[in-house]
């Protein structure tokens, strides 16, 4: 595990940003391991991800923020500072489909990620045994129209109790409301089983079959208050033909879903994503 | 050039279709070179494409239809018979974008296809010089709200005069009405510059950019009276990122458009497509 | 679970095969649900997969073979008959990498396949806990130059004791010899972590990195006596760039490996694969 | 057409490079429009592409080099400076296959590129008419073992006379020797019709067919003295199946070839490629 600092910056585009930020790192003997920047010329916006080694860096980690603040202010930056040594805590929400859940659990267990999964939440009990296979606490919150508000509050309390950093909706078949979204803004990732914006809403594979498309896909995105319209993080597709029934589309689609979701979660855990408007910058 | 017969069949699914049809070919000493069939179990529909060599086949080509008719009737078949030795005649409609036009012309010239392009029709003069490079007559029919009906009639007359089999809308930026669609039902192929049903309508790349998708695509389909909703023949995609401006999406998209359109045209010219409802069976 | 019969046929190409086979099914009231055929014109070889419903079929399953034999003989067919109602038994061989193993276990557990996994075999103990999570017996056969012959015999005995139909080498890092290959000809599937024939042998990702390729891939194939040269069943790729280190190639590659392996196993379990020479016909 | 300066830099990785270079641009009022950097940690190498607007930049273009030299020297940089306002001159070499040639000509004519094609060179006359369609001089240099040295000298003289910046081998079926490679080091782009390093050498599609691969590809690379081993610029693939004969692989492959070649040429013309060892950094 490297001990790196990661700085995510967004600000109005202007001259001298890169020079100022890299000079700051350099002055304090930081060795830049990765720098990516992006300018949205039309929006006049500047984005940067900077990763440098803490080894030999002359500012202690708790002071980096205050020491960087003058640079940030002079360019009206929004910024976030992360450390690769800190392992993030991920809660997974599921309903009935196991493929994304199993895939996420296997990755966590294999050490593919710098993240741990302290709990799984579901509105049903179907996937309890899957959770148990991996020894992870499984909490069931059945949702009805009447109890939704109360259940979401209980879920939120649990997320806070477990100090959860990221929520992953791994084919969770309930609409999440602003009670959860607000405190976890840009920290709830959903997988939608279509190539958005095509086939938003329910039963996308059946809709894709009906329309006779030759390619199906999946989309991972941050959850916002508007269903299936949050900022897209990752998408991928698979070619199909007239031979595939709706059931076969579902089967082929599952493989795309789990890969697309896993890529989005990995990018988030590595602090590679900047959200602006309803778009994302995903540095590789 | 092979001298093959190609039979396209659709009928209600029932026992014994393949046996009956292949027995018919066999009885008259036909050697089947390719047979593909597809059953849509849900719709109870059967589709088949059969290609056999005319060499040694004991029925002369003009009598095959009448001799096959009893078999067809007993299974309530709709069928079409084609001969690979007959070169099809393709009209291309364009407006301003040259990439699909150049690609189609180059393929025809290179002998990639069993088709010829006797004329190009446009509502503007922009691509006249491209047509002239390949020595193909270029007809201009400027379209206004007032003259549209009249111009389409003139276009149709021209298509008939040139005995056109297939119309290809190669980024033709006018809506084609039923005056042309009706006589060329399932014989007008359009390329739409998005992954339908996402981003139907105008300016799809700008819409894709706005939505922040990570993959863009193109769709070729038969033209119906409902814009961008005809049966899809072929689709393909290309991965993009936040780095691509709308202008770069357009540029990357052009490559996908021309390949997707060319594949659809090739499939049509080889009699590989069966339309049912608003879906297609495309045999490879 | 459907109760279907599946017939896989290969024979010299000749007139009347399809007619004869479909007539046989029809005579005994079989309803063909899927028929795919392929002619390799150059090799003069014919291949067919026929799936029909046993419901209402007038020959009991144990007699189908003998009743079909005259048809088969008249066309010099090699054929295999399978029934979808019979669940196949799959042994997985592993070494250290867990991603393919977890993926296969999750699919079996989720009921994605018509197959069960009664045992896992390894030359090391690393993945024992993964096997235990899914409650599957895990047998360890450490391999040295001295004991290889003896250990393979013991493995073979175990495979026979468990009546294993298919062996899957899920990143098993030992060369399997003809002692195992011979009795499991075309029933051992390996995943190689490159796009074969590029980068056969050890450390393919490092070789790919060194060569500076822009796409990496994975290949599943039947195991033969010649390393990495067995008939290819499935391949897929993922785009990479100069940004990816060899370690990142390994990480991206894992996702391709597990999907490619799973597709090959699924195709085998559904009896969609015919091997001829060192090529495969994989019906979709 | 933008009036931008583009600086390509490679040097040993060390602290402060980005800060120093961006400070240089900033001091002279340059507005950075695009900055991409890459560190190859293993090789200890640093690469950067910097594009800034010449509008308002206070150093005249002919002095930028000498003014930048002290910065460059202090970091032991190799660097190249380009201006987007300068149109590059591209020579295309062909033999018999027209698809890449037509594609390149159509792109140049459509203004897709900041490049012009003043001449086409061939060892045969087959594609003369294609060149004539686009009004481009076509020079024929038939090559035999005896005259190869002499003909290459004549070709080189022609390239110099036409002040050619880039040579594109668009399915040119002759081996180019160091006589041409040396003066055009990293300025000759070839398209090889396979996914290198698989199927290097002659008849790759037939070799791919024989091997039974499920995916075929194409590779564009800079030409070096070792056949098919130059630094890879771009690759892409297309899925195939047992249904495709070697001839169909050739046909599908052509589409991949022309797109892959065009992408490589575009990247070169936009000064996005840095070569080191036998690898490339291709900034997007």
Cβ of A239 under 8 Å from any chain D Cβ?
yes
Question: Residue A133 pLDDT more than 80?
Answer: yes
Most confident of A50-54, A167-171, A242-246: A167-171
Out of B195, B245, B246, the one facing A198 most closely (by C-beta) is B195
CA nearest neighbour of B164 among B226, B200, B115: B115
* pLDDT value of position C18: 86
For residue B134, give the chain D residue with the closest CA: D133
Task: Kindly report the number of other CB atoms within 10 A of residue D171's CB atom.
Answer: 22
Question: Residue A194 pLDDT more than 90?
Answer: yes
What is the torsional sign of CA B149, B155, B158, B163?
Answer: negative
Question: Residue A143 pLDDT more than 90?
Answer: yes
Mean pLDDT of A88-94: 98
Question: Residue D110 pLDDT more than 80?
Answer: yes
Confidence at C74, pLDDT banded by 50, 70, 90:
very high
Residues with Cβ within 8 Å of residue A185, at least 6 apart in sequence: none
Q: Please report where in the chains the tokens 């910056």 appear, as a residue.
A: A9
| Chain D positions in Cβ-Cβ contact with residue A25 (cut-off 8 Å) | 19
Confidence at C138, pLDDT banded by 50, 70, 90:
very high
Task: Tell if the CB–CB gap between A33 and D41 is shorter than 8 Å.
Answer: yes
Task: Tell if the CB–CB gap between C213 and D235 is shorter than 8 Å.
Answer: yes
For residue D102, give the chain B residue with the closest CA: B106
Gap between the Cα atoms of A103 and A129, Å rounded: 15
* pLDDT value of position A284: 83
Mean pLDDT of C253-275: 97
* pLDDT value of position B277: 87
Gap between the Cα atoms of C140 and D265, Å rounded: 54
Gap between the Cα atoms of C20 and A217, Å rounded: 41
Assembly ipTM: 0.94
Confidence at A36, pLDDT banded by 50, 70, 90:
confident
CA–CA distances in Å: residue A174 to residues A149, A151, A204, D226: 12, 12, 16, 59
Q: Are strands B115-122 and B45-53 parallel, antiparallel or unpaired?
A: unpaired
Out of C102, C259, C284, the one facing A255 most closely (by C-beta) is C259
* pLDDT value of position A108: 95
Cβ of C206 under 8 Å from any chain A Cβ?
no
Question: Residue C46 pLDDT more than 80?
Answer: yes
Which homologous superfamily is A4-83 in? ACT domain (3.30.70.260)
Q: Are strands C31-40 and A215-222 parallel, antiparallel or unpaired?
A: unpaired
Distance from CA of C105 to the nearest CA of A (A): 9
Task: Tell if the CB–CB gap between B19 and C23 is shorter than 8 Å.
Answer: yes
* pLDDT value of position C230: 97
Mean pLDDT of A156-161: 98
Rounded to 5°, angle at Cα B146 from B143 and B151:
45
Confidence at D42, pLDDT banded by 50, 70, 90:
confident
Cβ of B103 under 8 Å from any chain D Cβ?
yes
Task: Tell if the CB–CB gap between B38 and A243 is shorter than 8 Å.
Answer: yes
Task: Tell if the CB–CB gap between C15 and B33 is shorter than 8 Å.
Answer: no
Out of A19, A29, A33, the one facing D19 most closely (by C-beta) is A19
Task: Tell if the CB–CB gap between A255 and C251 is shorter than 8 Å.
Answer: no
Mean pLDDT of A227-245: 95
Task: Tell if the CB–CB gap between D39 and A33 is shorter than 8 Å.
Answer: yes
| Chain D positions in Cβ-Cβ contact with residue A37 (cut-off 8 Å) | 35-36
Gap between the Cα atoms of A244 and C225, Å rounded: 36
Cβ of C244 under 8 Å from any chain D Cβ?
no
* pLDDT value of position C110: 93
* pLDDT value of position D15: 81
Q: Which residue has the higher pLDDT, D32 or D64?
A: D64
CATH code reported for the domain at A88-282: 3.40.50.170
* pLDDT value of position B51: 94
Rounded to 5°, angle at Cα D274 from D268 and D276:
135
Question: Residue D41 pLDDT more than 90?
Answer: no
Question: Residue C254 pLDDT more than 80?
Answer: yes
For residue B195, give the chain A residue with the closest CA: A198
State yes or no: is D165 an active-site residue.
no
* pLDDT value of position A69: 97
Q: To the nearest whole percent, how much of chain C has pLDDT over 70?
A: 100
Distance from CA of C133 to the nearest CA of A (A): 5
* pLDDT value of position C284: 83
SS3 per residue for B151-207: HHHHHHHHHHHCCCCEEEECCCCCCCCHHHHCCCCCCEEEEECCCCCCCCCCCHHHH
Cβ of D109 under 8 Å from any chain B Cβ?
yes
Confidence at A39, pLDDT banded by 50, 70, 90:
confident
Gap between the Cα atoms of B33 and B61, Å rounded: 17
* pLDDT value of position D4: 96
Q: To the nearest whole percent, how much of chain A has pLDDT over 70?
A: 100
Task: Tell if the CB–CB gap between A213 and B196 is shorter than 8 Å.
Answer: yes
Mean pLDDT of D77-103: 97
CA nearest neighbour of C275 among C114, C40, C69: C40
Confidence at C184, pLDDT banded by 50, 70, 90:
very high
Lowest-confidence pick of A18-27, A161-170, B200-209, D138-147:
A18-27
Mean pLDDT of C172-193: 97
Domain ranges of chain B: 4-83, 88-282
* pLDDT value of position D181: 98
Cβ of D255 under 8 Å from any chain B Cβ?
yes
Residues with Cβ within 8 Å of residue C258, at least 6 apart in sequence: C99, C100, C103, C191
Residue B35, exposed/middle/buried by CB under 10 A (0-12, 13-18, 19+)?
buried
Extract the tokens encoding A178.
């602003």
| Chain C positions in Cβ-Cβ contact with residue D213 (cut-off 8 Å) | 196-197, 232, 235
Cβ of D122 under 8 Å from any chain C Cβ?
no
Gap between the Cα atoms of B244 and B209, Å rounded: 8
Out of A98, A106, A255, the one facing C99 most closely (by C-beta) is A106
Helix (H/G/I), strand (E/B), else coil: B1: coil
Could you read off the pLDDT tens digit of each residue along chain B, which spans 284 residues? 789 999 999 999 888 888 899 899 989 999 888 888 888 888 899 999 999 999 999 999 999 999 999 999 999 999 999 999 999 999 999 999 999 999 999 999 999 988 999 999 999 999 999 999 999 999 999 999 999 999 999 999 999 999 999 999 999 999 999 999 999 999 999 999 999 999 999 999 999 999 999 999 999 999 999 989 999 999 999 999 999 999 999 999 999 999 999 999 999 999 999 999 889 999 98
For residue B209, give the chain A residue with the closest CA: A279
Task: Tell if the CB–CB gap between A16 and D36 is shorter than 8 Å.
Answer: no
* pLDDT value of position C33: 84
Confidence at C35, pLDDT banded by 50, 70, 90:
confident
| Chain C positions in Cβ-Cβ contact with residue B36 (cut-off 8 Å) | 36
* pLDDT value of position D76: 97
* pLDDT value of position C34: 85
Residues with Cβ within 8 Å of residue B25, at least 6 apart in sequence: B32, B50, B52, C19
Mean pLDDT of A145-163: 97
| Chain B positions in Cβ-Cβ contact with residue D262 (cut-off 8 Å) | 255
Would the pTM count as exceeding 0.90? yes
Cβ of D43 under 8 Å from any chain C Cβ?
no
* pLDDT value of position B37: 87
What subunits touch chain D, counting only 3 or more CB pairs under 8 A? A, B, C
Q: What mean pLDDT value characterizes chain C? A: 95
Are A119 and A154 in contact, with CB atoms under 8 Å apart?
Answer: no
Task: Tell if the CB–CB gap between C102 and A112 is shorter than 8 Å.
Answer: no
């Amino acid at each position: 595990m490297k001990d790196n600092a990661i700085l995510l910056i967004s600000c109005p585009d202007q001259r001298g940003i890169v020079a100022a930020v890299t000079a700051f790192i350099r002055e304090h003997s930081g060795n830049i391991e990765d720098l990516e920047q992006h300018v949205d010329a039309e929006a006049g916006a500047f984005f940067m991800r900077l990763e440098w080694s803490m080894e030999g860096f002359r500012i202690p980690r708790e002071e980096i923020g205050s020491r960087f603040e003058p640079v940030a202010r002079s360019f009206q930056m929004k910024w976030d500072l992360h450390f690769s040594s800190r392992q993030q805590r991920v809660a997974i929400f599921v309903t009935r489909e196991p493929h994304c859940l199993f895939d996420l659990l296997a990755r966590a267990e294999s050490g593919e990620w710098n993240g741990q999964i302290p709990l799984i939440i579901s509105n049903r009990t179907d996937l309890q045994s899957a959770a148990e296979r991996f020894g992870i606490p499984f909490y069931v919150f059945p949702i009805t129209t009447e109890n939704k508000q109360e259940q979401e509050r209980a879920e939120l309390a649990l997320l806070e109790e477990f100090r959860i950093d990221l929520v992953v909706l791994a084919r969770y078949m309930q609409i999440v409301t602003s009670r959860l979204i607000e405190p976890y803004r840009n920290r709830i990732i959903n997988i939608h089983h279509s190539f958005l914006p095509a086939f938003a809403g329910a039963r996308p594979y059946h809709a894709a079959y009906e329309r006779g498309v030759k390619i199906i896909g999946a989309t991972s995105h941050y959850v916002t208050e508007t269903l299936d319209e949050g900022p897209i993080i990752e998408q991928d597709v698979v070619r199909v033909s007239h031979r595939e029934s709706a059931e076969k589309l579902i089967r082929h689609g599952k493989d795309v879903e789990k890969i697309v979701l896993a890529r989005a979660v990995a990018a988030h855990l590595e602090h590679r994503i900047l959200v602006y408007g309803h778009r994302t910058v995903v540095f590789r």
